[in-house]
Structure 1
């Protein structure tokens, strides 16, 4: 199955992304929108910052939330094969090598630097973080209580979809409103971790929105495969949920 056939072709996912390429804290970055007060840091999954669906989703967020959306390259220019990821042929990808070069320890510092740059260097008043798969752990880290500076959170709100590499410690330390978009079938975000998330956020008294997506699998919110039952609808529902969430918390 080719990338062009597996990914969303309806709704407003056709055509060419309308944003631009620039840099954010020295990272190559796709940027959509132009609101000078509200920013969203979009941390992509293994498809990476150049994947068309990622950029089209950033365009949606920019238009519908009225935000400037930044999608940096956190993989050092490395781009995995879109078709192999979409077809879940992970045995044909060197994922252990990729993660060894782009894992938490290797990339956390630059993810934090890009987030800090939004308020410090660019003057945004409100900043949200959205992360899918790989971007899930990073979004939780950005929203950790320990990273508030002078009483102000590094990011004001997060939304994560099918997170991976997430730890219980990440969940324990969150200090900003959290949205979780959780596919039913997801080995990267297990039932145990889903329950732990739900119970811990209540204990911490953190405002959260947990949305369950029955019958769909990990990566549905980015891939949007029309040949997998319910996946396209899940992608659209997930986008709409994130838009509503960010609209609520990112009013400058």
Structure 2
């Protein structure tokens, strides 16, 4: 369900602008406020984006800061549900020393061993957050905000652990209208084939959970639908020099990784502007 690289993190600077609403983080988009600025366009559909976090969940502020950026740039509400319901598995500071921050570094046997020793006592937390459980939580949350906030369209962007959730819920167009998948956790080709909504993929150069052969096969799956009734819009972008986790937890000391992080964020914003607005 998870992957070793989901457990590396670098904390982004700044403080979140949004607030907690019924256990979820919420940032209101500028086009949904009550102001009368020229940026407010009442003809646009009322949309929201749901951000599905990596394995660190809400405690790591990166996801909140990314949600703020997406909300401000797309111009819509962004929510981050707690799909872990408080049962978080690991902390970023526990894992940061264990795994690479860029391509070409490799993972030592000792790092794998240290990860195993840390993970084994937390097997019950992995089980509490197994795919069937977190998927149900994500779907329930999206259904609730659709009904209460009257959103006409909802997109989902998932990182690592959340990227795998985005793939799975992307099989149901009644749940989400568009998805962005950033270096997903473990997924199957069958789950990729079952995606039925527009999908944008942000891929690391090296990714132990989404290896190059599977990444290439995923793109081939989408390309094979061309000129067929089940065709859906898609894109795949690779970020040179990156390792799994770069789009959520970049090493700010490496300019090429920061550039890739910013590129992935821009890709997310542009995709949702294209598919939701």
Deviation at 1:126, TM superposition (A): 1.3
Find the counterpart in structure 2 of residue 31 from structure 1: 26
Q: 2:251 maps to what in 1?
A: 225
Q: Are 1:93 and 2:97 an aligned pair? A: no
Query: Residue 91 and residue 232 in structure 1: after superposition, are their counterparts in 2 closer, same or farther (change >3 A)?
Result: farther
1:178–1:207 CA contact under 8 A, matched in 2: yes
Which of 84, 91, 108 is residue 81 of structure 1 equivalent to?
A: 91
Aligned partners of 2:11 and 2:60 also within 8 Å: no
**Aligned residues of 1:86 and 1:223 also touching (Cα < 8 A):** no
User: Which deviates the most, 29-38 or 159-168?
Assistant: 29-38
Separation in structure 1 between the aligned mates of residue 212 and residue 83 of structure 2, nearest angstrom: 28
Q: 1 CA distance for matches of 2:20 and 2:139?
A: 20
Of 207-216 and 118-127, deviating more is 118-127
Tell me how far 1:118 sits from its aligned partner: 2.5
Residue 187 of structure 1 corresponds to which residue in structure 2?
208
Verify the 8 A CA contact 2:11 2:61 in the aligned structure 1.
no
Deviation per CA, 1:70-128, whole angstroms, max 9, x where unpaired? Answer: 10111121332221233336345326443222120222211111122232232001110
* Partner secondary structure for residue 232 of structure 2: coil
1:104 to 131, 139, 149: 131
Segments of 5+ residues of structure 1 without an aligned counterpart are 9-13
Bigger Rg, structure 1 or 2 = 2
Q: How far apart, CA to CA, are the structure 2 residues paired with 1:7 and 1:234?
A: 16
Partner of 2:144, secondary structure, is: helix
1:244 matches 2:270: yes
TM-score (norm 1): 0.86
Contact 1:128 1:250 in 2 (8 A): yes
Aligned 8 A contact 1:137 1:170 in 2: no
Unaligned regions of 5+ residues in structure 2, if any? Answer: 1-8, 33-45, 99-110, 226-230
Q: Where does residue 17 of structure 2 map in the other structure?
A: 18
Candidates 5, 8, 11, aligned match of 1:7: 11
Whether the 8 Å CA contact 1:38–1:67 is kept in 2: the answer is yes
Q: Is the 8 A contact 1:221 1:238 kept in 2?
A: yes
Q: SS of 2:195's equivalent?
A: coil
When normalised by structure 2's length, the TM-score is: 0.78
Over aligned residues, Cα RMSD in angstroms?
1.9
SS state at 1:115 partner: helix
Question: What aligned pairs does 1:180-219 form with structure 2 within 5 A after superposition?
Answer: 180-204=201-225, 205-219=231-245
Give the superposition deviation at 1:38: 1.2
Q: Partners of 1:84 and 1:229 in 2: how far apart?
A: 24
For the residue of structure 1 that corresponds to 2:25, the secondary structure is strand
Counterpart of 1:55 in structure 2 is: 64
Determine the structure 1 residue equivalent to 2:102: none
Question: Separation in 2 of the partners of 1:91 and 1:75?
Answer: 21
SS of the residue 1:119 aligns to: helix
